[in-house]
């Protein structure tokens, strides 16, 4: 299973764009890259997923370079409510090939 490395914590201010990068040097051909957000006392919430190039939804964008050895979650114009832990996962959600959540990145958005 591909191991992921992401910063332990990041600080930002309201209205700024935040980019969180995840390294996954051992990503396999079939692996997807998935990001979750978790608030205190809640379960993780799916944000975005991609395989290559760029994916955008109403919440975030995900940039994946051609070699797929890293990915960047981009949160446009963050607000205080975006303060959370963000997890990067790499793999395939099929039975028998389970994923591991790492420590995540704790994002603190300040006023």
Partner 1 sequence: DVKVTQSSRYLVKRTGEKVFLECVQDMDHENMFWYRQDPGLGLRLIYFSYDVKMKEKGDIPEGYSVSREKKERFSLILESASTNQTSMYLCASSSTGPGNQPQHFGDGTRLSIL
Give the interface with partner 1 as residue ranges (CB under 8 A). Answer: 32, 34, 41-46, 49, 51, 87, 92-96, 98, 100-104
105-110/9-13 β-pairing? parallel
- Closest contact distance (angstroms) between CB of 64 and partner 1 is 13
Tell me how far apart the terminal alpha carbons of the chain are, to the nearest angstrom.
Answer: 39
- Closest contact distance (angstroms) between CB of 34 and partner 1 is 6
Only one residue has tokens 């692996």, namely 31
Q: 20 or 104: whose CB is closer to partner 1?
A: 104
Eight-state DSSP code of residue 5: B
Token duo for residue 67:
């070699």
- Closest contact distance (angstroms) between CB of 111 and partner 1 is 26
Q: 104 or 109: whose CB is closer to partner 1?
A: 104
């Amino acid at each position: 299973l591909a191991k992921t490395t992401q910063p332990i914590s990041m600080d930002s201010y309201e209205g700024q764009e935040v980019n969180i990068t995840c390294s996954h040097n051992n990503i396999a051909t079939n692996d997807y890259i998935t990001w979750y957000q978790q608030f205190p006392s809640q379960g993780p919430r799916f944000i975005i997923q991609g395989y290559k190039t760029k994916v955008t939804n109403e919440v975030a964008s995900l940039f994946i370079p051609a070699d797929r050895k890293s990915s960047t979650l981009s949160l446009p114009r963050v607000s205080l409510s975006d303060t959370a832990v963000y997890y990067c996962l790499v793999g395939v959600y099929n039975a028998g090939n389970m994923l591991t959540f790492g420590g995540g990145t704790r994002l603190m958005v300040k006023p």
